Amino acid sequence: MSSLALNTGLKALLTAQSKLETIGHNVSNASTAGYSRQSLEVGTSPTMRLHGLLQGTGVQANVVRRTVDSLLQTRLSMQGSLVSRIDARVSGLSQAEALFASGSGGLDQLFKNFFSSLSTLSTTPEDTHLRSNAVQSAANLSSKFNALADGSLNIGADAIGRIQAQVGVVNQLAERISRLNGQILSTESAGAPANDLRDARERAVSELAKLTDVKTVEDGRGALRVLVAGQTLVSPVGFKQLEVTTDGRTDISIRVEGGNVDMAISGGEIGGLLSVLRDFLPGLKSDTDALARNFILEMNRAHSTGMPSSGPMRALVGSSRLVDQDSDGQVTDELLSNSGLPFDATSGDLFVNITDLASGAMTKHRVPIDAARTTVQDFLTALSRVPNLSASVDGQGRVEVQADSGFGFDFSPRLDVAPDDIASFGGGRASIAGGASEPYALALGSTLDFNGPLGAFSVAFQPNQFQSMGQATAEELAAALNSDANFQSNGLIANTVGGTLVVQSSGSGTSQSFTVTGGAASAVLGWAPGTTVTGKSLGVNPKISGTYSGAANDAWTFRPSADGTIGSTVGLKVDVFDQNGVQVAQLDVGANYQPGSEIEVRDGVKVAFGLGDVSAAHNDLFRLDVLADSDTADVLPALGINTLFVGNDAASMEVRADLLENPELFASSFNGASGDGGNVLRLLQKSESGIEGLAGLTFESNLTGVVGGVALELSSAREAGESEEFMRQSLESRRDQVSGVNVDEELARMIEAQQAYSAAGEYMRVVNQLSSDLFNIL
Amino acid sequence: MSALKVLVHQLEAYAQEELDLQTRTLGLLREQEGALFHGDLEAMRANVERVDAQLAGVAARTQRRHELLRRLGAQFGVAPATLSLSSICTRLGDEGERLSRIASELRETTQSVSRATRRLSALARMHARLNDEILGTLLEDQGVDPRDMARCGALVDAQV
């Protein structure tokens, strides 16, 4: 009986000791993150059968429980993951915002500086200093775009570096959780709850959740399975490592060891960094590149079709290199539209102006480009076919264009001031034009019969002179005529004016004459047999002035309404037709017209006619190209010919090297006249124009949108971060209420116990003394 | 009735009263033991208060016992300090039979009380020492003497 009592007392003592140790453990871990308050559960010891009686054996500590709300804990981990993700995103966005900061040195300011420099230059375009200033402003803007591209890459590289580091931490945590799994299983299989180990594991999971999105599933034995982005990182029996593959700049792939599927991590710091890397930065790069690309293209479109203040150019080398796409050792066989150029060459026309530097006479030539058919060689050939111009590809795959000695060239959309090059409109030559334009339906054996200065002759057309005889072009017909010996010996020449055949005498004056006597082809051309044309002593010589302000390219054909004399014949008119044959103007050049005076045609174009005779019967005409864009194929920006910038995105953008060295090459002039700053104004107009490639926004609006987008995204992320952090703190507070340790409370509990034990002990001493006194009389 | 018989009746009443007190004390001690086992501080405090109330009449009963023994000593012609309940029963012979039965029960109960108090006393002291050690460990970093805290409001002398 006495040993049973001793045992009962010992159990009580041990139980009380456990309780005190639990309190002490709580206090010791009061500041341990993630620690869950523990409490001792006590119960009655099993009874013993002794001498046929059931004898109680006192008290025992059953289990030390963690005070924990597992749902709250899970929510807290998820919230931590969310907050970390947003924090990481805010970090990346903040760096981007700093890159795009407005003000001095900012992209917005450099845009303003550039356009401001153009504005200043436009007032004094011949000023060398202002020209240098404009070029330098362009260079500053390029440098800023380069810095933005580098900065974006650096943000990405920084994010990748941080992801790599944090993946290392994830791997450490996976190992730790796996080890704790083993320890918990080992401890709990022996019947004791592994409270501190579970706390440690929860802390590790919380740490993991701050880095990535985590899901956990605990099996019946207490082992935790940890899934990251849907893939098992830790299983009850082991763990796997995450592996990173990256180029260190823009791309990163995270996989589970031995896996072949990229992990779509969206949560935690890694998820936040990945979202910066994969969602935000590409979008920012795309926006920045789109701005740079469209700016380069628009500036180059304007610059390439202008000319330096010194006038037409003698030679130019493109800055873009053609690429041998089919690797056959040559680039000239590539389609121009698919030759590796930084901008697309599309179907359209390139107009080339050739200027006789001695006389100042300019001729305009159209080089058509068919994106589906025109090869580099076709283009070079077409350019080289322009009189006094040659084009080739240099050893570095760049197109070079050169004018013959004494000539210059440019690509300006300026008006041809003397468009009647062949004097087919009231010129001095004997001249007759087709009554209709091409195609001409010639038949086999068709002839055109003339009576020239040397007598009658007939030109017979052969099928091999035409691609399709029934669809003969004016060019083919003129070539066939010009190749005929009789035609030549009679001093006749054939020309074309906008697809219309013109037959003329080679000389001028009233002595020049020939007669169309017949032939099947004469009917096709609308010429009545017996029509005689005679040269004149005066040429009308139309002069064009003004600047075309129309929105689209067009080709106007001027035809007299009747036979008559400019400024003399009553009611004489000149009808103007667009390229579709629609009349767009009618000019009164009759008795009320003062020869030589300018008449407004339309869209800013004026014309002046000299005194002379014009003939509607002989189909007098001249053609005027009115151009809003002299390079509708964008072949000049694509080839980098006479551009302001090279490159096609923020990273590659630069001012053309030779232009930077020699700002005199800056194409400030529209027409080459001294003091003309027309092209500066065209460049300047781009600042206020809606840009098609930027959804119709101006550069400034687009930039504001890009910068504003970054700021808005950052602001939204910050707001979300604050909100989610508040939620996290709230959850943390609730967790502390449930699982946290209040040191004061625990100490007070201990002191209270101490006092109770002291009092109990003291009373026991008194009671014992009284018992001893009583024994004395027993 | 003789004076001795009156004194024996008074002694029997005293012994019965003491037996009842020891029995109640033993009950309280068992409850206290349960409170200590379970660390039930509230129950411990309540039991201490009830034991305290039990002890309230101790002084009067001791005085009464000394007086009875003085008068019985005079009757038997011996010094009161030499008298015990056993020796009185022997002197009384058959007339001391009831007193002898009460004394026997009182002895047994008092022995139980004594054992219980020794056990509980040891237990309470052990708890107190443990508490001291834990408090010392926890508070030494904070420059606080745990004994100061443990003494706050503690009962230091329950001597009657």
* A558-580: pLDDT as tens digits: 999 999 999 999 999 999 999 99
Q: Does A57 have pLDDT greater than 80?
A: no
Give the model's confidence band at A42: pLDDT under 50 very low, under 70 low, under 90 confident, else very high: low
CA distance A402 to A316: 7
Q: Which of A214-228, A246-260, B130-144 has the lowest mean pLDDT?
A: B130-144
Q: CA of B155 to nearest chain A CA: how many angstroms apart?
A: 5
CA distance A363 to A356: 9
pLDDT of residue A509: 92
Q: Phi and psi (nearest 5°) for A623? A: -120, 140
Q: Does A442 have pLDDT greater than 70?
A: yes
Q: Is A761 on the interface with B (CB under 8 A)?
A: yes
Q: CA of B44 to nearest chain A CA: how many angstroms apart?
A: 7
Angle of helix A128-189 versus helix A268-275 axis, rounded to 10: 160
Phi and psi based region of residue A696 (left: phi greater than 0; alpha: psi -120 to 50; beta: remaining):
left
Q: Which two structure tokens, joined as six digits, stand for A157?
A: 């590289």
pLDDT of residue A500: 95
Q: Quick one: which H or E segment has residue A25?
A: helix A2-28
Query: CA A403, A404, A409 angle in degrees (round to 5)?
Result: 30
Q: Does A44 have pLDDT greater than 70?
A: no
**Cβ within 8 Å of residue B9, ≥6 positions away:** none
Q: Is A98 on the interface with B (CB under 8 A)?
A: no
pLDDT of residue B156: 40
Q: CA of A37 to nearest chain B CA: how many angstroms apart?
A: 16
Burial A458-479 (b: 16+ CB within 10 A, else e): ebebeeebbeebeebbbebbbe
Mean pLDDT in chain A?
89
Mean pLDDT of A415-443: 93
Smallest CA-to-CA distance from A146 within A772, A680, A645 is with A645
In angstroms, how far is the first alpha carbon of chain A from the final one? Answer: 24
Q: Is A768 on the interface with B (CB under 8 A)?
A: yes
Complex ipTM above 0.90? no
Mean pLDDT of A48-54: 54
pLDDT tens digits, one per residue of A112-165? 999 999 999 999 998 999 999 999 999 999 999 999 999 999 999 999 999 999
pLDDT of residue A2: 37
Q: Kindly determine whether residue A753 and residue B41, on different chains, have CB atoms separated by under 8 Å.
A: yes
Q: Does A408 have pLDDT greater than 70?
A: yes
Q: Is A756 on the interface with B (CB under 8 A)?
A: yes
DSSP A335: B
pLDDT of residue A220: 83
- Chain A CB contacts of B83 under 8 Å are 777
CA distance B39 to B34: 8
* A372 burial via Cβ count (<10 Å: 0-12, 13-18, 19+): exposed
3-state secondary structure (DSSP) of residue A597 = coil
Residues lower than pLDDT 50 in chain B = 149-160
Give the model's confidence band at A43: pLDDT under 50 very low, under 70 low, under 90 confident, else very high: low
Q: In this complex, which of B124, B125, B134 lies closest to A24 when CB atoms are compared?
A: B134
CB A287 within 8 A of CB A148: no
CA distance A351 to B52: 120
H helical segments located in A29-106: 70-99
Q: CA of A186 to nearest chain B CA: how many angstroms apart?
A: 29
Q: Minimal Cα distance from A770: which residue of B?
A: B58
pLDDT tens digits, one per residue of A508-526? 999 999 999 999 999 999 9
Q: Kindly determine whether residue B114 and residue A764, on different chains, have CB atoms separated by under 8 Å.
A: no
Interface mutation vs chain A, best among B117, B157, B160, most A CBs within 10 Å = B117
Mean pLDDT of A750-778: 75
Q: CA of A26 to nearest chain B CA: how many angstroms apart?
A: 11
CA distance A450 to A487: 8
CB < 8 Å from B in window 43-72 of A: 58-59
CA distance A288 to A402: 36
- Chain A CB contacts of B55 under 8 Å are 766-767, 770
Give the model's confidence band at A5: pLDDT under 50 very low, under 70 low, under 90 confident, else very high: very low
pLDDT tens digits, one per residue of A449-478? 999 999 999 999 999 999 999 999 999 999
Q: Does A51 have pLDDT greater than 60?
A: no
Interface mutation vs chain B, best among A25, A29, A767, most B CBs within 10 Å = A767
**Cβ within 8 Å of residue A318, ≥6 positions away:** A398, A399, A400, A639, A640, A641
Taking residue A261's Cβ as centre, other Cβ atoms within 10 Å add up to 11
- Chain A CB contacts of B160 under 8 Å are 766
Higher pLDDT, A265 or A103: A265
CB pairs under 8 A between A and B: 163
Bridge partners for A350 per DSSP: A367, A631
Query: CA A516, A519, A521 angle in degrees (round to 5)?
Result: 95
pLDDT of residue B160: 34
Q: Kindly determine whether residue B32 and residue A767, on different chains, have CB atoms separated by under 8 Å.
A: no
Q: CA of B136 to nearest chain A CA: how many angstroms apart?
A: 11
Which residue pairs, CB below 8 angstroms and at least 24 apart, start in A324-331? A324/A397, A331/A376, A331/A393, A331/A397
- Chain A CB contacts of B159 under 8 Å are 766
CB A776 within 8 A of CB B150: no
Write out the E strands in A673-718: none
Q: Does A654 have pLDDT greater than 70?
A: yes
pLDDT of residue A296: 97
Q: Minimal Cα distance from B18: which residue of A?
A: A774
Bridge partners for A606 per DSSP: A545, A600
Q: Does A552 have pLDDT greater than 50?
A: yes
Give the model's confidence band at A267: pLDDT under 50 very low, under 70 low, under 90 confident, else very high: very high
